[in-house]
């Protein structure tokens, strides 16, 4: 097991560069399965989730070459359409590989995906959409087999704007006969990035970033080079770290437009924020103020930032309320914050945080990716030493989080413990 050992209390100051987006990189890597021509990607974050995804592509027969921070994937000789169960279980986004495999080969075999245990996370919307596109689904024991003669463009109305289901519909209908029209599509910036990447290789995806997306089927894709967008959740995490620890930071190479609700919340809490093209600067106030937050699909407050804000709000003066509307099991980090002295009461989908609390360093356990990052923020704000165990979760989604925080002045080190 790996842990972070943090000595709290240091102010953080300086500049830091945002990494490529985890949630955009995963479906964008899947575009290389659809496209038999070489796909070169820049700005792929070096994290466990992208490593596992690339490992799966290799296993399926793709050739992968890495050169100077760019990765070229060639799926010309890809000869397998089944994703091994062990790898499928390692992360949830493997499910979007299914859409790309079906889109290219008209068949795919996969199992229920894994990923963070933050709620039930069913894939019914993905499978129902596949059925609408003319794909036959055969669910047998642990494996799901999908097959069709051709994919037929259809009108698909999603019951909920699921990010993964929207990505899977787009990926599976790039070569469809006719047009596919999604209503109530997810509007997340990562969907826009996926569409932009696909269009750069000759696909015809329109409306991404809105609730109505149309995909006109094309016959083939061509060679492409694409740079993945900045990680808006990592940017938000770094800003919250400084808001909590004190000091000032500029996050560079990011996209402020993708983070407006988070920036607004930080401003409401009293932080001074400056936006300049692809840079966000934040100066922590003397005293943070309590605010209320409710998670919603984009452009609402992102559920992935909820635990991180939750940790930060323990240091705010007054009562803050958080309502989690997307995942039902995303408050597990609060048990650990309470052990560090936080005053948090949970009732169903809501928590009430009363501050100001000066957290006290403790040995705590990450239980999921963003909950783990929340504990790192808590450790930076706490008095004394905090040991965050099980950081394998954090390493799944953050590139060099400890190194970036250290460069700003944090006292944090990674340690292997048995
Ligand atoms: C993606 C992000 C994740 C983020 C989430 C919501 C990736 C790799 N992960 O996850 O970081 O927290 O969007 O912004 O991009 N649902 C169903 N049936 C389905 C699919 C989803 O009921 O078939 C429900 C889920 O249980 C959840 C809600 O819809 O309650 C949102 O899920 P979804 O938008 O699909 O999230 P993911 O794509 O898994």
Nearest CA to ligand 1 atom 11: 304
Q: Domains in the chain, start-ordered, CATH in brackets?
A: 2-19+230-416 (3.65.10.10), 22-227 (3.65.10.10)
Per-residue pLDDT, 328: 85
240 carries an active-site annotation: no
Mutate to test the pocket of ligand 1, among 20, 99, 326, 397 (most ligand atoms within 8 A of CB): 326
Q: Read off the pLDDT of each residue in 16-27 and give the average, rounded to a whole number.
A: 97
In order of 17, 52, 151, 179, 349, the CA distances from 111 in angstroms are 36, 16, 21, 28, 30
The pLDDT confidence band at residue 398, using thresholds 50, 70 and 90, is very high
Q: For residues 354 and 401, what is the distance between their CA atoms, to the nearest angstrom?
A: 28
Mutate to test the pocket of ligand 1, among 162, 229, 324, 326 (most ligand atoms within 8 A of CB): 162
Residue 401 has pLDDT above 80, yes or no: yes
Of residues 329 and 259, more confidently modeled: 259
Listed as own residue / partner, the contacts of 70-73 with beta carbons closer than 8 Å and 24 or more positions apart are: 70/40, 70/41, 70/42, 70/225, 71/40, 71/41, 71/44, 72/38, 72/39, 72/40, 72/41, 73/29, 73/32, 73/38, 73/39, 73/40, 73/41
CB 277 within 8 A of CB 253: no
Residue 114 has pLDDT above 70, yes or no: no
Q: Read off the pLDDT of each residue in 389-401 and give the average, rounded to a whole number.
A: 96
Q: For residues 387 and 365, what is the distance between their CA atoms, to the nearest angstrom?
A: 8
Query: How far is ligand 1, taken at its centre, from the CA of residue 164, in Å?
Result: 6
Per-residue pLDDT, 118: 61
Residue 69 has pLDDT above 90, yes or no: no
Q: Which residues contact 67 (CB under 8 A, 6 or more apart)?
A: none
Which residue among the candidates 62, 74, 116, 146 is catalytic per the annotation? 116
Residue 295 has pLDDT above 70, yes or no: yes
Query: How far is ligand 1, taken at its centre, from the CA of residue 255, in Å?
Result: 22
Residue 120 has pLDDT above 70, yes or no: no
Residue 115 has pLDDT above 70, yes or no: no
Q: For residues 340 and 343, what is the distance between their CA atoms, to the nearest angstrom?
A: 9
Strongest mean pLDDT among 118-122, 326-330, 343-347: 343-347
Percent pLDDT > 90 in the chain is 91
The pLDDT confidence band at residue 7, using thresholds 50, 70 and 90, is very high
Q: Residues 165-193: pLDDT tens digits?
A: 999 999 999 999 999 999 999 999 999 99
CB 239 less than 6 A from any atom of ligand 1: no
According to DSSP H, which parts of 20-146 are helical? 22-34, 48-59, 85-88, 95-105, 124-132
Listed as own residue / partner, the contacts of 140-147 with beta carbons closer than 8 Å and 24 or more positions apart are: 142/85, 142/111, 142/112, 143/82, 143/85, 143/109, 143/110, 143/111, 144/98, 144/109, 144/110, 144/111, 144/112, 145/107, 145/108, 145/109, 146/98, 146/102, 146/107, 146/108, 146/109, 146/110, 147/106, 147/107
**Residue 315 carries which DSSP code?**
T
Point out the ligand 1 atom lying closest to the alpha carbon of residue 167: 38
Q: What is the dihedral of CA 388, 236, 121, 179, to 10 degrees?
A: -150
Query: How far is ligand 1, taken at its centre, from the CA of residue 341, in Å?
Result: 31
Point out the ligand 1 atom lying closest to the alpha carbon of residue 162: 34
CB 123 less than 6 A from any atom of ligand 1: yes
User: How many distinct helices (H) and strands (E) make up the chain?
Assistant: 14, 24
List the one residue out of 241, 156, 184 whose CA is nearest residue 412: 241
Query: How far is ligand 1, taken at its centre, from the CA of residue 131, in Å?
Result: 19
Q: Read off the pLDDT of each residue in 4-8 and give the average, rounded to a whole number.
A: 98
The pLDDT confidence band at residue 122, using thresholds 50, 70 and 90, is confident
Nearest CA to ligand 1 atom 38: 164
Per-residue pLDDT, 252: 98
CB 122 less than 6 A from any atom of ligand 1: yes
Query: How far is ligand 1, taken at its centre, from the CA of residue 167, in Å?
Result: 11
Per-residue pLDDT, 306: 98
């Amino acid at each position: 097991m790996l842990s972070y050992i943090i000595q709290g209390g240091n102010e953080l100051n300086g500049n830091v560069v945002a990494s490529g987006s985890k949630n955009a990189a995963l479906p964008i890597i899947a575009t290389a399965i659809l496209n038999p021509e070489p796909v070169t990607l820049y700005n792929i974050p070096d994290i466990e989730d992208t490593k596992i995804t690339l490992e799966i592509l290799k296993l399926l027969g793709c050739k992968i070459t890495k050169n100077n921070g760019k990765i070229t994937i060639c799926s010309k000789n890809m000869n397998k359409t089944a994703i091994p169960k062990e790898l499928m279980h390692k992360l949830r986004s493997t499910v979007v590989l299914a859409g790309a495999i079906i889109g290219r080969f008209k068949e795919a075999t996969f199992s229920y995906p894994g990923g963070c245990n933050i709620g039930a996370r069913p894939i019914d919307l993905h499978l129902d959409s596949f059925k609408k596109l003319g794909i036959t689904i055969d669910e047998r024991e642990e494996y799901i087999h999908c097959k069709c003669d051709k994919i037929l463009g259809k009108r698909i109305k999603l019951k909920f704007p699921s990010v993964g289901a929207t990505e899977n519909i787009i990926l599976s209908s790039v070569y469809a006969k006719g047009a596919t029209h999604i209503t109530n599509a997810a509007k997340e910036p990562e969907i826009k990035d996926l569409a932009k990447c696909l269009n750069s290789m000759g696909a015809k995806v329109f409306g991404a970033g809105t609730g109505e997306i149309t995909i006109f089927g094309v016959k083939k894709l061509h060679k492409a080079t694409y740079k993945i967008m900045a990680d808006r959740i990592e940017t938000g995490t770094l800003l919250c770290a400084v808001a909590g620890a004190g000091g000032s930071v500029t996050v560079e190479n990011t996209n402020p437009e993708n983070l407006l609700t988070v920036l607004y919340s930080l401003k409401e809490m009293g932080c001074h924020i400056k936006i300049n093209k692809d840079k966000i600067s934040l100066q922590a106030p003397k005293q943070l103020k309590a605010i209320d937050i409710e998670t919603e699909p984009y452009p609402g407050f992102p559920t992935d930032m909820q635990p991180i804000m939750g940790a930060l709000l323990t240091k705010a003066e007054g009562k803050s309320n958080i309502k989690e509307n997307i995942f039902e099991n995303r408050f597990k980090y609060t048990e650990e914050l309470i052990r560090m002295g936080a005053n948090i009461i949970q009732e169903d989908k809501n928590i009430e945080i009363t501050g100001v609390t000066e957290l006290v360093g403790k040995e705590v356990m990450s239980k999921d990716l963003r909950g783990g990052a929340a504990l790192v923020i808590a450790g930076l704000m706490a008095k004394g030493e905090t040991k965050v165990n099980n950081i394998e979760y954090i390493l799944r989604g953050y590139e060099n989080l400890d190194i970036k925080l250290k460069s700003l002045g944090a006292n944090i080190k990674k340690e292997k413990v048995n």
